[in-house]
Chain A
């Protein structure tokens, strides 16, 4: 007798499972559970657009409502991936337009999106609600106009940090008067003037608007008007906050509106705004419920101290450099600022910090203050800077971080670092999922410690380190348990890449080299970049440019 629940009951039970991990686990129990689950999965996250093909996804999950996808590797942000490498969204968009008429949400990161794709999106889905394009490129405001005009139920349009070719600001006026559904609008990456009255009208008819990110120096009165119309705002960001910096000299009628909004603001992105520390402090001290702050280093140590004193709910802090290429510091921001915040903000769990000096003592103090760190990304402008007090490597400091912060999931390190720090990481960072390394280590042993010790590692990105073939080949099997490995300007030879591809048929080993075919050089010659990722799609992707080589099953060199 086959014991089983009716399918409907199982489906109902599965509907309570939202995490991908749970759903994946469920689908492994037995064939019928696999089948039931795949028909009721509504959301899919594809961490690497080349790990799987659209056909495979569509075949397995025929009823998706939301797709989230990432394209280029993270180091593409820093110009380490040559232009034209890939990650085009169109094949996915075209396939999904046919297969998913009820699709509601598309979220893409680091992908190339064209106006054709945007137009296709706007016309293919009757109930389209959410479009988020993070760090994407390839489209213009014409594409946005299609979205505005045709997506009648749009709730969220977020273009964070995408490179948009700005043809005109008129696209905003394409939102029909009947569109009242907007919850979130982020157009901070656009340059041209949008019609402010169009914006005001849009805000006025969007009662659910909670997040607003604008792109221009909004005149004081108009900003105040805007805020008054949208008292439910929780997230506010203006790129050029000059309009707000004069705020504090003005005796009310604007201030009560501003203060009441401030107390509701949980996320503040001032990371493009050149505001002196004193004004920043005045604003921030009003935002006592602040959970996330992105800011430039103009805030200085003194501002961070004030932050630590007033924002006890702070969870995430990012401090960006105002003058990253200057030889001398232009602001008084040191390791002390980070120490203050780690002392004063008990809920702080995620940090990205650019500074010019660091010490082991400071890192150890930070680690002891905040064992609850989940993300710790430190960038010292001089990539091999030692402890500025003792001139020693920063191994001990980062070692303290991984030892104390047992929940650490993401780590980026800079500074003078030897193989020792990798030993600490391999021994302690058991929950680490993403590690970024630059100009660090002495030998293959460093890489070996990481690959053999970090049980949860999913993404590893390395640049300019003396890591080579031995560690890579010895840990080949590990690479199949990870999403991807990036190594550029290291010591990985072409011969090793071929060997790796031979050993591991489910890995795609991409040699990205702009010097011409790798087999025109000796096999022991180091490749410029190698990008290794697991995939169930075919190993030879169809859109490879001429500087990418991948190895076929028979180890013959394939290039387009």
Chain B
């Protein structure tokens, strides 16, 4: 315990250089042969996750090398440190499992949650969503509209009608139309789902609109 006591010199300020000898003993520093070897106390987990459980891999952004740590600094109680470490670990475990995202549907009184890992294609997802919210949609048209969102021709109808359109918020916080990217990429970047009423979705998928226009 209490092995390492190492003062890191800051910014080269000479006046702040700690002299640990007796006052008046000149430049006599505490002999390092008396102190124990520096112990690099790197408290960095191999998998660094932020609080949303998103894996922030260390290799993505080159971080500056961890400083040699001083014992008991910063003054955070070991109780607190342990708790935070356990939490980070359990969050990492949880995020390795399913990808649970919230699903809201305009007009529905409460939200639902789906585990995107349970599905392999957009079709499966749309079936599930259709079942989930079927009690809130009236008439065959709306549910039919949702099932056909992969069909770009129908997409135009959808976007121009008051039917429902599934959208999602991606990692950057942008709201995107579901269906543009490969399924795996979608699962990796989807943070939440929102089934919007078609009338609001204009401007969501200009590229799709262009393509449809081109076809017509």
Binding site for B on A (CB under 8 A): 75, 77-80, 82-83, 135, 161-163, 189, 191, 239-240, 246, 249-251, 271-272, 274-276, 298, 320-322, 324-325, 327-328, 330, 354, 379, 381-386, 391, 416, 418, 438-439, 442-444, 463-466, 468-470, 489-491, 493, 514-515, 521, 524-526, 528
Binding site for A on B (CB under 8 A): 1-2, 5, 7, 10-11, 13, 15-16, 18-23, 25, 30, 34, 43-44, 50-52, 63-67, 69-81, 83-84, 86-87, 91, 102, 104, 109-111
Bound CA span A490–B23, Å:
11
CB-nearest residue of chain B to A272:
B83
Q: Given A274-B91, A322-B84, A416-B10, does the pair A379, B16 have CB atoms closer than 8 Å?
A: no
Bound CA span A82–B43, Å:
20
| Chain A neighbourhood of B5, CB < 8 A | 464, 489, 528
Closest 5 CB pairs of A and B: A78-B72, A274-B51, A384-B10, A77-B77, A324-B74
CB-nearest residue of chain A to B113:
A246
CB-nearest residue of chain A to B7:
A464
Q: Are B63 and A82 touching (Cβ within 8 A)?
A: no
Q: Are A80 and B71 touching (Cβ within 8 A)?
A: yes
Bound CA span A78–B11, Å:
25
Distance (Å) between the CB of A267 and the closest chain B CB?
18
Bound CA span A330–B43, Å:
16
Distance (Å) between the CB of B166 and the closest chain A CB?
18
Q: Are A80 and B72 touching (Cβ within 8 A)?
A: yes
Bound CA span A69–B3, Å:
30
| Chain A neighbourhood of B87, CB < 8 A | 240, 272, 274
B23, B78, B80, B109: the one within 8 Å of A272 (CB):
B80
Q: Are A276 and B111 touching (Cβ within 8 A)?
A: no
Q: Are B76 and A320 touching (Cβ within 8 A)?
A: yes
Q: Are A466 and B19 touching (Cβ within 8 A)?
A: yes
Q: Are B13 and A463 touching (Cβ within 8 A)?
A: no
Q: Are A524 and B22 touching (Cβ within 8 A)?
A: yes
Q: Given A325-B44, A418-B15, does the pair A82, B2 have CB atoms closer than 8 Å?
A: yes
Q: Can you list 12 contacts pairing A with B, beta carbon distance less than 8 Å?
A: A78-B77, A162-B79, A191-B86, A239-B83, A240-B87, A271-B80, A322-B51, A383-B70, A416-B10, A438-B73, A439-B7, A469-B22
CB-nearest residue of chain A to B72:
A78
CB-nearest residue of chain B to A240:
B87
Q: Are A327 and B63 touching (Cβ within 8 A)?
A: yes
Bound CA span A493–B22, Å:
8
| Chain A neighbourhood of B91, CB < 8 A | 274
Q: Are A163 and B79 touching (Cβ within 8 A)?
A: yes
Bound CA span A463–B110, Å:
55
Q: Given A249-B102, A383-B70, A416-B10, does the pair A78, B75 have CB atoms closer than 8 Å?
A: yes
| Chain B neighbourhood of A489, CB < 8 A | 5, 20
Q: Is the interface of A mostly helix, strand, loop or mixed?
A: loop
Q: Given A274-B91, A379-B75, A491-B22, does the pair A79, B1 have CB atoms closer than 8 Å?
A: yes
Bound CA span A31–B9, Å:
59
A77, A272, A514: the one within 8 Å of B2 (CB):
A514
CB-nearest residue of chain A to B5:
A489
Bound CA span A379–B75, Å:
8
Q: Are A416 and B13 touching (Cβ within 8 A)?
A: yes
Bound CA span A295–B107, Å:
35
Bound CA span A442–B22, Å:
12
| Chain A neighbourhood of B65, CB < 8 A | 327
| Chain A neighbourhood of B34, CB < 8 A | 515, 521, 525
Q: Are A80 and B23 touching (Cβ within 8 A)?
A: no
Q: Are B23 and A443 touching (Cβ within 8 A)?
A: yes
Bound CA span A82–B71, Å:
12
Bound CA span A491–B102, Å:
59
Distance (Å) between the CB of B108 and the closest chain A CB?
9
Q: Are A79 and B66 touching (Cβ within 8 A)?
A: no
Question: Which interface residue of B21, B51, B52 has the most chain A CB atoms within 10 A?
Answer: B51
A83, A327, A382: the one within 8 Å of B1 (CB):
A83
Bound CA span A276–B79, Å:
22
| Chain B neighbourhood of A524, CB < 8 A | 22, 25
Q: Are B78 and A79 touching (Cβ within 8 A)?
A: yes
Q: Are A328 and B10 touching (Cβ within 8 A)?
A: no
Q: Are A386 and B52 touching (Cβ within 8 A)?
A: no
Bound CA span A198–B65, Å:
49
